[in-house]
């Protein structure tokens, strides 16, 4: 039995973690952490947990939690884990962090984009970037996993194979991304009110979105050189889901069959990445509520570009589902255990 604790259990990602873990008979949630709802019944915050979870929320004392569990999930704002992490914690338990604190290897870039001082830079090099389809072997023996961001997960899985194989010029990459409102978190913000979001779509974080350096860093590893991208996210009036449409110049003429073979090379044996049939474009509805990522591409010979597309659920593969996938790898379990969720439809 894996004993797990969730710090930040009352946010959207934390609630999704609870939903996924409660379905399993090999995991016991020992700690529902929440800074805002200490001693309040968890089921009173998420009413869907009524008569399923009887526990009350506990504080965010990660030191005490580390002595009680085998794995800690931190679904917390940026800076929390960096300020709290120490050797005592890591010597007792595994930590899977859903924030950005350990995703970026260059601490100066992290501090520049997130505008906070990193309190434990000594652990950055040790942290493993938790994208299983790329870093599976490194994840197996990690103490600290940096769970990727939602936009980066979808962007990287859609683009990485072509960057790695040198079929596109990585410095020409433009990513147009769209997300449902849950991607902004559960906190009350005017921009996320129903009247602001409904019947509306807008770009935000133009040129300055914090996921930009994370995507650039991971694609740089694939390209073998520094990569600079243009990344623009948009907020769309739906609860969950991410759709990315990325563009890049081809380095040479290619056929559909050649590009398809590249995607199949990387994802042919992957359970959670589905390369769609020719001319079928990914849709968020086809992955909603699941840990799947649907990807596809379209060659545009007129402009010598290729269009790369991806769709996924930002709360599952983009957050909680990927964290559970990483937990499965850490504990030597079947990677899709507890995650064989059929996408919801309609």
- Edge-to-edge order in the sheet of strand 293-300: 202-203, 230-235, 174-179, 242-249, 305-312, 293-300, 273-275
Distance CA 163, CA 160 (A): 5
Helix (H, G, I), strand (E, B) or coil at 162: helix
Whether 150 is catalytic: yes
Task: Count the neighbouring beta carbons within 10 Å of the beta carbon of residue 258.
Answer: 13
The single-letter DSSP state of residue 70 is S
Region of residue 304 (phi > 0: left; psi between -120 and 50: alpha; otherwise: beta): left
Task: Considering the candidates 57, 150, 154, 195, report the single residue annotated as catalytic.
Answer: 150
Task: Count the neighbouring beta carbons within 10 Å of the beta carbon of residue 289.
Answer: 19
286 cis-preceded (ω within 30 degrees of 0): no
Q: In this structure, are residues 103 and 148 in contact, taking their beta carbons and an 8 Å threshold?
A: yes
Q: Which positions are annotated as active-site residues?
A: 150
């Amino acid at each position: 039995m894996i004993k797990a604790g969730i710090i930040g259990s009352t946010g959207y990602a934390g609630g999704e973690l609870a939903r996924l873990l409660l379905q399993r008979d090999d995991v016991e949630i020992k700690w529902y952490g929440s800074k805002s709802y200490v001693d309040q019944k968890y089921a009173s915050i998420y009413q869907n947990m009524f008569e399923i979870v009887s526990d009350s929320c506990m504080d965010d004392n990660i030191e005490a939690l580390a002595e009680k569990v085998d794995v800690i999930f931190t679904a917390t704002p940026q800076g929390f884990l960096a300020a709290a992490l120490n050797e005592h914690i890591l010597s007792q338990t595994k930590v899977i962090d859903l924030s950005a604190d350990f995703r970026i290897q260059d601490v100066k870039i992290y501090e520049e984009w997130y505008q906070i001082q990193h309190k434990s830079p000594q652990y950055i090099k040790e942290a493993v970037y938790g994208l299983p389809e790329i870093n599976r072997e490194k994840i197996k023996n990690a103490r600290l996993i940096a769970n990727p961001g939602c936009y980066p997960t979808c962007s990287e899985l859609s683009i990485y194979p072509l960057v790695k194989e040198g079929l596109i010029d990585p410095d020409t990459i433009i990513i147009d991304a769209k997300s449902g409102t849950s991607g902004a978190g559960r906190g009350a913000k005017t921009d996320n009110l129903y009247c602001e979001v409904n019947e509306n779509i807008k770009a935000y974080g133009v040129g300055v979105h914090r996921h930009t350096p994370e995507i650039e860093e991971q694609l740089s590893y694939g390209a073998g050189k520094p990569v600079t991208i243009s990344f623009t996210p948009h907020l769309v009036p739906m609860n969950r889901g991410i759709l990315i449409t990325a563009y890049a110049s081809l380095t040479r003429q290619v056929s559909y069959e050649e590009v398809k073979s590249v995607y199949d090379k990387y994802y042919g044996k992957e359970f959670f990445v589905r390369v769609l049939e020719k001319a079928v474009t990914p849709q968020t509805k086809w992955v909603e509520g699941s840990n799947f990522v649907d990807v596809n591409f379209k060659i545009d010979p007129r402009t010598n570009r290729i269009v790369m597309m991806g769709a996924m659920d930002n709360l599952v593969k983009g957050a909680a589902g990927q964290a559970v996938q990483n937990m499965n790898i850490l504990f030597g379990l079947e990677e899709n255990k507890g995650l064989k969720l059929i996408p919801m439809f309609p």
